[in-house]
Copies of this chain bind each other. A is one copy, B any other.
């Protein structure tokens, strides 16, 4: 959908304009205060003039055509006004009114459906309903229903918010500057994805900041993020609904499908989206990326502070957030030693003492010295810029930064204040104009830096981005793909073997002799397990024998297992007994697949047992993943150390395990129409190679493997 008429209208009309309180008055006030006189019309039959400007009785009375109608009147009037506007050439509308789907009532739902149908009929874009409007700062369009305080806000952040209140709070923060600020409301016609596409194409938008509670079309949303990663435009996202209660709030607030929060993490991970936890972090992350002339080339921070206390805070919170301060080279240390007072100990993070900060030349020299260190990719200047300038240090420091910023090969400089609610506005603007952002206080700043580093470390080329997204619940609900069926272990493993995933040799025997014969062919020791679509937990019914070493042993085990199972579960349908070569012992890992209706299949891994169940130490990505991504998943586990040769054991074959994860993810993507979920538990990871020891799959349609098939590895 082309929404240029909506966000960049040549002419717009405000219907319900006025001088009073409320949507009409405030929208009019904003337009009159900030827009060029000839770019908008005011419409209200009650007044001849509004704020001294001519008011027209109706849209039909306007002297020329318009692109956008801004409707400040109640829901009941909206349909008629849209038709009128369409006759006046409008191809876009903005509706502030509530009373639609967000009410959760059948009437509201019906009103929204009718609104969508009308816009489809007239081919019109529509912002809202139940929104606060937008401001396009680049074009000087103010179609916004809250009164902001006066400050310069034009900048490089394109911001889209599902919440009007958070949109207003963002606007009123003194920190961010925007290309475009959009309160999407119910996003009934024009979707969040449409706005993102607009901002991706907008040359004045350098960073996209999003607040949302849920999305409607996983495939389109993913495509937007993929495009953003491709063109290198950072996306910063605040998505609520991580917690159970938060998910409930999100679902009741916008009616959009919330849930599956971890799938969003996986999607963001795939495309290098920076996920943040609250509005303050969203604002600062976006503004930092908007102000920096270029992203740092790597993760090496050179930290320069005026005191030991500040340096200690940087050291502690850096470590807590995985920030590394590379040791300075001998050259850097020698340079700093020559500049600093004799009692200072040069190191990174650096306590320079306050002495240099009152001398532009010397401060510039120190900055340059740290910046020239080959391990340093950005300089983090610890300094609390106060509201009033009582201490003149910042004058000298800002002058020094201005000099150094202009030099060839200058690296990014960022300022870290140690308290918030400060920052002198003149210096803030001056620093931002020279490309030096002021960060929030440390407990926001260090996670922000860690996120930026993760973002720059994101390697689009190493990611498998062929996401096989389902495309909405409709398809699932269609029923053409059949009812869910749980496959037996043998059926599941046979399916796995088709996809070249290593499973033990084995097959299902239907009598003692068959079993003994099978075991002899595949080799001893054998493991035997009851094969029944009705029995999931085989050990619980005495359905397992491990380490059987002879044909006679196999016969005996066959009889025993059958007797146990018939005794414990007399009604169960029994295929026979699965006979396999016993797997060599290895470290137990698990690999799981879950197919989400909006995101398609995701793949999960973790260490087996308590690590997953108690410590919840798992990694999840959207399928398919490359072997590179699979390795990232493995290394993101807290328990990853156990794979690297723990307690003198040889290191395990992590590469083979990564390949297995990638293969399973490719299988999941390939089977996206029928696979519902799959659990490989455990997978044995050995010093050489890997093997799936147990597995179960739930899919639509029957298992493809006949019980009589003999798998060979």
Asked if A566 lies at the interface with its beta carbon under 8 angstroms from chain B, I say: no
Indicate which residue in B150, B240, B641 contacts A313 across the interface (CB closer than 8 Å). Answer: B240
A236-256 contacts to B (CB < 8 Å): 238, 240-246, 248-250, 252-254
Interface size on A, residues (CB 8 A): 95
Indicate which residue in B308, B309, B638 contacts A615 across the interface (CB closer than 8 Å). Answer: B638
Query: Which among A40-48, A318-326, A503-511, A578-586 touches the partner chain?
Result: A318-326
Question: How far is B390's CA from A103's CA once the two chains are assembled, in angstroms?
Answer: 27
B308→A250 contact, CB < 8 A: yes
Query: Which among A66-74, A83-91, A160-168 touches the partner chain?
Result: A160-168
Question: How far is B647's CA from A318's CA once the two chains are assembled, in angstroms?
Answer: 39
What 1/0 flags go to A296-317 for Cβ under 8 Å of B? 0000000000111111110111
Indicate which residue in B169, B249, B614 contacts A384 across the interface (CB closer than 8 Å). Answer: B169
A391→B422 contact, CB < 8 A: no
Question: How far is B446's CA from A443's CA once the two chains are assembled, in angstroms?
Answer: 12
Query: Which residues of B lie under 8 Å from residue A310 when comparing CB positions?
Result: 163, 165-166
Query: Which residues of B lie under 8 Å from residue A146 when comparing CB positions?
Result: 390-391
A441→B165 contact, CB < 8 A: no
What 1/0 flags go to A160-183 for Cβ under 8 Å of B? 011111101110111100000000
Among the interface residues A252, A277, A320, A614, which one has the most CB atoms of the partner chain B within 10 A?
A614
B639→A309 contact, CB < 8 A: no
Query: Which residues of B lie under 8 Å from residue A312 when comparing CB positions?
Result: 213, 240-241, 246, 249-250, 253
B245→A318 contact, CB < 8 A: yes
Asked if A2 lies at the interface with its beta carbon under 8 angstroms from chain B, I say: no
Asked if A280 lies at the interface with its beta carbon under 8 angstroms from chain B, I say: yes
Nearest-Cβ distance from residue A14 to partner chain B, whole angstroms: 19
Query: Which among A413-421, A453-461, A681-689, A693-701 touches the partner chain?
Result: A413-421
Nearest-Cβ distance from residue A15 to partner chain B, whole angstroms: 23
B443→A281 contact, CB < 8 A: yes
Nearest-Cβ distance from residue A465 to partner chain B, whole angstroms: 28
Indicate which residue in B149, B252, B317 contacts A308 across the interface (CB closer than 8 Å). Answer: B252
Query: Which residues of B lie under 8 Å from residue A613 when comparing CB positions?
Result: 646-647
A116-157 contacts to B (CB < 8 Å): 146-150
Asked if A546 lies at the interface with its beta carbon under 8 angstroms from chain B, I say: no
Query: Which residues of B lie under 8 Å from residue A174 when comparing CB positions?
Result: 387, 421-422
A residues adjacent to B (C-beta < 8 A): 102-105, 108, 146-150, 161-166, 168-170, 172-175, 211, 213, 238, 240-246, 248-250, 252-254, 277-281, 283, 306-313, 315-320, 325, 342-343, 345, 347, 349, 351, 354, 384, 386-388, 390-391, 418-423, 440-444, 447, 610, 613-615, 638-639, 641-642, 646-647
